Amino acid sequence: MAGATAAPGDTRNSRDPAARAAGVAALSAAFGNRVVTSQAVREQHGNTLTWIPNQPPDAVIYPQSTEDVQRIVRICAEHDLPIIPFGVGSSLEGHVNAPEGGVSIDFRDMNKVLTVHAEDLDCVVQPGITRKALNEQLRDSGLFFPIDPGADASLGGMAATRCSGTNAVRYGTMKDNVLSLKVVLANGEVIDTARRAKKTSAGYDLTRLMIGAEGTLGVITQLTLKLSGIPEAISGGICPFPSVEACCNTAIHTIQSGIPIARIELLDALQVRAVNLHSKLGLPETPMLFLEFHGTDASVAEQSQRFGEIAAEFGGGPFTWTTRPEERTRLWEARHHAAMSCLALRPGSALVATDVCVPISRLADCVTETQADIAASRLLAPIVGHIGDGNFHLSLLVDTKDADEVARAKALSERLVERALAMDGTCTGEHGVGQGKMKYLLAEHGPAALAAMAAIKTALDPQNLMNPGKIVAI
């Protein structure tokens, strides 16, 4: 199970250390104090979340334009120096580690909104801007970018990991909301993957090839994003249930009934307890759904009423909802802090987050079987999920000094993935592959598909410079 929770061995010596050092020196000569080699900064740019070991790069560099990135890539290619794109470091599967050394390209300074085409419902941004910063700048236009993974992630990182989040049940994932990308390839050439048109049949879909590639095929330096109108009315609420199974069945029936729900999030009883401790909500500690509806005043009232009726059929309720922004904000802030809130359940433990996704018809089975597995494993692992699209997360609270407990946690994580795959699901719904879930791709996709991925990687990145050691092994 080591491949699911621990980084592969550090292979930085597989590349000529002298050439790598020369590459860092060449970058320093070209970019001056925008190249940083201090140990603390380098370690901040390796994995800092979950228990995958930190593997820092040889240097960190801060570009300010696509032209800077081109120049960086060409210098790195000349010196066989790996390239690891970096947003805010909120990814969970070791995506930003540098197992072969290299340079971390931190997009902190490329954080601007370049253009807003309000009439076309799109905008052009640099990769370092975060989703919250983008939506703050869009507020006066009456538009917003709906993808909300919880963390205030960078838009470039969100595209690279093909993230989704709480709004995905209505607005889709990143792959549905990116029109075009500007990408610097491993040879230093720049491509635009598409135009701003809402649809196209012109050639291979390079945009979606790059979305979810985790920086292994190129470096994203610009994104053209779809925008949505800020709804006239928003209602949000909570609904307790007697069991997680009842929550899942209610969500399935709600979606099958055609109710255009915007968010429907599952929290098991243990997760509700954690949220209460962290956010002081005072919720009943029972399985619960957090919900949100978007539309007009009349439509959100109708949707809320209809959902309440469905919930009652499965023993849920009462469903309490509100349109007051301050109450909704408090609720969703608590949901966004759900993972970190779990640490209040066991102070001093390490939090290991993992996710899977299954067809919604199998969701109740997968969640209830997982709950039984957690209990049998004698572990503490609250469950929270984007239940509307079959995606749920475990937050394992582990004493990393207890070898037996670590072994049980690793085994549980592996069985979770095996369970999801057996139900025609995936090893990761939104966290991505990185280093942590590479070992599962063969079982999920089969050898021919994995070979096709490797062929694409080799064709676009023959030196294996672009975020090596992630997704596919070359």
- Sequence spans of domains, the chain: 2-108+456-460, 113-229, 232-433
- CATH class, 2-108+456-460 region: alpha beta
Structure tokens at 186: 């491993």
Torsion of CA 320, 323, 329, 335, to 10 degrees: 40
309 falls in which pLDDT band (50, 70, 90)?
very high
pLDDT at 4 over 90: no
Q: What is the mean pLDDT of residues 432-447?
A: 96
12 falls in which pLDDT band (50, 70, 90)?
low
Residue 367's SS3 state is: helix
Q: In the CATH hierarchy, which fold is given to the domain comprising 232-433?
A: Vanillyl-alcohol Oxidase; Chain A, domain 3 (3.40.462)
pLDDT score at 358: 97
CATH number corresponding to 113-229? 3.30.465.10
Write out pLDDT tens, residues 328-360.
888 888 888 888 899 999 999 999 999 999 999
Angle of CA points 242, 243, 244, to nearest 5°: 145
- Judge residue 248's burial from the number of C-beta atoms within 10 Å of its C-beta, 0-12 exposed, 13-18 middle, 19 or more buried: buried
Q: How far is CA 153 from CA 139, 161, 212, 466, in A?
A: 18, 11, 15, 21
Write out pLDDT tens, residues 384-416.
999 999 999 999 999 999 999 999 999 999 999
Q: Whole-angstrom Cα distance, residue 455 to residue 464?
A: 12
Q: Whole-angstrom Cα distance, residue 416 to residue 399?
A: 20
Write out pLDDT tens, residues 241-274.
999 999 999 999 999 999 999 999 999 999 999 9
pLDDT at 2 over 50: no
